[in-house]
């Protein structure tokens, strides 16, 4: 391009990485990709496309694993060293940790169903707010089967890289779960005892 110079311009990715990309700087101050990069998309430039793919992957994981028990797809969607942050359920990294966690809950709640109530995505991150509902017919660690039905809100944040979850954060209403299962009294029950 006549009159254009090639300059490097930083582009911040969500993980804090700062790759250097080549752009044409036109005399009028406009930036454009050089011809050898014009058809390529970076992760952040591809947000509309990659975000939708990440959302679809997160939905598929929820539907196939939690609702149907198809744990094999975790090998396809979770990186081997993926880090899981869940204060209520510390698990091993990678797909194996999730397989163990999901198996434990599906054994305790055979009719377990996750309904995605809200989904928000930005670049490599997908956030799902789900309502988990089921009847506890099996034991959980330190909690024998109660036969009671419970519904609990949970929020899961997944960070994707190259189509796989590399890190996730989960938080759920464990107090609400224990109250519905009759293990811990509700505020109303405690007030009635006074």
Give the per-residue pLDDT at 107: 98
Cβ neighbors of 46 (< 8 A, separation 6 or more) are: none
pLDDT digits (tens, 9 = 90+) for 30-86: 554 445 444 334 343 333 348 999 999 999 999 999 999 999 999 999 999 999 999
Give the per-residue pLDDT at 194: 84
pTM of the model: 0.72
The burial class, CB within 10 Å (0-12 / 13-18 / 19+), for 98 is buried
Rounded CA gap, 136 and 121, in Å? Answer: 32
Cβ neighbors of 121 (< 8 A, separation 6 or more) are: 51, 52, 54, 55, 58, 127
Lowest pLDDT segment from 6-15, 72-81, 176-185: 6-15
Rounded CA gap, 33 and 11, in Å? Answer: 13
pLDDT digits (tens, 9 = 90+) for 102-151: 999 999 999 999 999 999 999 999 999 999 999 999 999 989 999 999 99
Give the per-residue pLDDT at 27: 53
Rounded CA gap, 34 and 38, in Å? Answer: 6
* 168 vs 26 pLDDT, higher one: 168
């Amino acid at each position: 391009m006549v009159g254009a110079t090639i300059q490097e311009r930083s582009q911040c990715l969500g993980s804090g990485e700062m790759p250097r990309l080549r752009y044409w700087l036109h005399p009028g101050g406009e930036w454009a990709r050089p011809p050898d990069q014009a058809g390529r998309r970076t992760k952040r430039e591809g947000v509309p496309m990659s975000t939708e793919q990440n959302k679809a992957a997160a939905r598929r994981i929820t539907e196939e694993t939690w609702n149907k028990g198809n744990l094999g797809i975790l090998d396809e969607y979770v990186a081997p060293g993926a880090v899981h942050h869940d204060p209520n359920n510390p698990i091993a990294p990678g797909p194996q940790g999730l397989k163990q966690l999901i198996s434990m809950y599906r054994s305790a709640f055979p009719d377990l169903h996750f309904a995605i109530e809200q989904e928000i995505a930005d670049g490599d991150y997908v956030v799902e707010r789900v309502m988990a509902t089921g009847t506890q017919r099996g034991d959980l660690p330190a909690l024998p089967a109660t036969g009671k039905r419970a519904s609990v809100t949970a929020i899961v944040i997944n960070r994707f890289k190259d189509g796989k979850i590399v890190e996730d954060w989960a938080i759920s209403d464990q107090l609400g779960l224990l109250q519905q299962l009759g293990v811990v009294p509700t505020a109303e029950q405690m007030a009635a005892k006074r």
